Amino acid sequence: MLNGSRWFVLFCVSALLSGVAAVSLAQEPATSEALLERVVVTGTRVADRSALETAVPVDVVSSEALQNLGVTEINQALSVSLPSFNFPRPGLADGTDTIRPAALRGLSPDQTLVLVNGKRRHAAALVNVNATIGRGASAVDLNTIPNAMVETIEILRDGASAQYGSDAIAGVLNLRLRQRGEGGEASVSYGWRDSTYEVRTGTPPVDAGWSAPSTLSRSVSDGETLTASIWKGLSLGENGFITIAAEYKDQEHTERGGWDARNQYPILSGTGVSPVVYDPRELTFNRFNSWYGEPAMQQKTLFLNAGYELSNTVELYGWASWQNRKAESAGFYRRSLDDRNVVEIYPDGFLPIIEPEVDDYSVAVGTKWGLGEWDVDTSLVYGLNKMEFTITNTLNRSLGTASKTEFDAGGFDYDQ
């Protein structure tokens, strides 16, 4: 009887505790719903996780924050907003001063996964083979997406290769596009660069008639840039939207080169022992003879995002983009006396001008629907990036005086 009473008491206590636990568990969802702030799906498959509750560091940059930064490029805006985001601006780097790489957490540019509305963005055609950050990488060109089209940017500052693959070792960027069926905005920005810097002049050759102090103070005003952008939201029936954005950018090049102390023309007479007689043109030659800085650029961009709800559980969506970018940068100066020059064509030497042209296209279509307790999302995304090189103000030394001064230097294309 005593043992039976003990078992009866234990059974009652267990049942009572189970009931309390069940009541407690039933009340928890209401508490978590009340605390939910912003849903973040980048870097996690948990749908009800807020930015403050994620187990990994996620930054969210809004469109208002992008506008307040006073810059017109997404890469540049992120470098200002995030200390871990590096956006170098290389010069004299062939194509990488036109399609400039950006790096997250100091890793290679192609180790950061870029998503648009949660879908992978295609990479640029250019493989960085120059001695600049990201050498050997072919990364996504974020500047093909206009600021006006971006609603928010989610940045996962942690490795996510277990979920997304090896291209997410540095982290993940997810750009969420505007989804507006009304409203709009237009903006115009204009600016230039004023710089004063010290230049080391170097030592001229023996018996040179030209000289300068060991350092020169130089003031330059250039790089005029005009950017105009607009976005507009349109209704698509009663349950849909179309958001259109356009951007135009016109940028002049900047020049922050050094002072060239070398002799530019062949020596008229003399050797290193006897007095050397230099060409009199040396005295009037402009020794700031290089371009080192931002390229000249003209860029046109169109972007469209659309969606339509067929029912409470079925939604169609899609977006498309196009951009054309023409740039001008320069190589190293070829002196008149260099073996690479033909003096009959360029008696004073020449500065080859590199003119890349980039065309970028993307299109995505998809549908979302509910299947019982499941949320299903199917999509097809395609992207194409093409880059062509033209070199002007140059020559082919092997052809001598018969050489042309403009060449089609080929190009690349990449689709995904």
pLDDT at 142 over 50: yes
pLDDT at 354: 94
Token pair for 343: 């003096």
Of 389, 242, 261, 373, the closest CA to residue 304 belongs to 242
Run of H or E including 301 = strand 296-309
**Homologous superfamily assigned to 37-177:** TonB-dependent receptor, plug domain (2.170.130.10)
- Over residues 274-300, the pLDDT tens digits come to 788 999 999 999 999 988 889 999 999
Q: What is the pTM of this model?
A: 0.82
In sign, the C-alpha dihedral spanning 140, 144, 147, 152 is negative
Token pair for 238: 């009663």
- Over residues 69-95, the pLDDT tens digits come to 888 888 888 888 888 888 887 777 778
Token pair for 91: 């010069």
CA dihedral 139, 222, 255, 412 (to 10 degrees): 30
- Over residues 178-192, the pLDDT tens digits come to 999 999 999 999 999
Q: Where are the domains of the chain?
A: 37-177, 184-415
